[in-house]
Amino acid sequence: MLLEEKFEVRAPRQKVWSMLRDPQKMMPCIPGCEQIEALDGSNYTATVSVSLGPIKARFLLHIAIEDEQPPESLCTAVSGEEGSRASQLRATNKMRLTEIDSLTTEVYYASELALTGRLGRFGLGMMKKTMQRLMAQFQQTFTSLVETS
């Protein structure tokens, strides 16, 4: 499933980039994120809880930065599973920051997501609606934190 979104942040591109690269600042922006730990400059672990319909799941994730062009683009690979191994998640994420002017940055985000197991059995429409809701929460929190910090 491919999800794409873009939005504007009233902040210089370098400030937006700095926020993206700080795991502790990103944690409150990621819906359901309970913790993020840096293993090194390119690898992280995270625990994220999500609800899809009536099912709640808690994923243990590994995030690897595959390509980075500061302060322009970031590509990550995410993999993990639910603690009970009932569902597996794989995602490739791309973010691109485009300077609109010295005080405004466009954030483009694309995620190619595969979810298998018990959560993967839900219909594509329900999964897409949930992911769009989570992306909207991310956008709102991220924008607010960048613009007010």
* Per-run averaged pLDDT (10 residues), the chain, 149 residues: 94 97 94 95 94 84 98 97 85 97 97 86 72 91 94
pLDDT of 149 reads 87
Report the C-alpha gap between 21 and 33 in whole angstroms: 16
The dihedral sign for the CA sequence 136, 142, 146, 147: positive
Residues 146 and 14 sit within 8 Å (Cβ to Cβ): no
pLDDT of 126 reads 72
pLDDT of 72 reads 98
Report the C-alpha gap between 44 and 46 in whole angstroms: 7
Q: What pTM value is reported for the model?
A: 0.86
Report the C-alpha gap between 98 and 52 in whole angstroms: 32
pLDDT of 124 reads 61
pLDDT of 120 reads 76
pLDDT of 123 reads 55
CATH classification of 2-148, choosing from 1.10.357.10, 2.60.40.10, 3.40.630.10, 3.30.530.20?
Answer: 3.30.530.20
Domain ranges of the chain: 2-148
Report the C-alpha gap between 47 and 83 in whole angstroms: 10
> Phi, psi (5° rounding) for residue 126?
-65, -40
Among 12, 26, 5, CA closest to 103:
12
